[in-house]
Amino acid sequence: MSIKAKIVSALGLNVLMWLAMWMVFAGLMFCAAGAYMALADRLTPVQAALITGGGLIAVVAILGLCALVASRSNKGSSDSVLSDSPDNALEHQLRPMIGDRATDWAKHNTGMAIVGALSAGVILTASPRLRSTLVRAVGPIFTRKAIRAFQQFSDRD
């Protein structure tokens, strides 16, 4: 599977997960609003709000515990898969693009690479002039890459 297909599948799954989370959140809020309205008829509004808020906190705690248990049970199997292959697939696919020296440096200096990427992001965010210069310089490259990717995807169909 190519890196493009992996990115597309990961982004598709990410979008579906966010959509599911928003739907669960909206459903939870409507349930909380219904519970509040039902309790507000029998109790004072303050008591109804406290009971509804406590119920929401309990639901979030239960969901957090379920996620914690699920992550602990899957942790052993994922570690064995990662330890079997010393280099991951993304590194193998990036190595031809950025070269052996850059890949090895990034592998051995992960913290510095992260700090450098974060610093570059902060600098580009803070300086509109530098950002526009960079966009003008890199724009044609991205346009060519996008056209090639579109042609490759359209050739497959």
Domain housing 91: 1-98
Q: Is 35 contained in some domain?
A: yes
Residues 62 and 13 grouped into a single domain? yes
User: Exposure string (b/e) for 27-51, b if CB count within 10 Å is 16 or more?
Assistant: eeeeebeeebeebeeeeeeeebeee
- Mean pLDDT value of segment 101-124: 82
Residues 62 and 4 grouped into a single domain? yes
Residues 92 and 132 grouped into a single domain? no
Give the model confidence (pLDDT) of 60-91 as tens digits: 889 888 888 887 876 555 544 444 454 567 67
Q: How confident is the model at residue 47 (pLDDT cuts 50, 70, 90)?
A: very high
Q: Is 3 contained in some domain?
A: yes
Supply the DSSP symbol for 86: S
Say if pTM beats, i.e. exceeds, 0.75.
no
Q: Is 17 contained in some domain?
A: yes
Nearest to 121 by CA among 105, 134, 109: 134
Residues 61 and 31 grouped into a single domain? yes
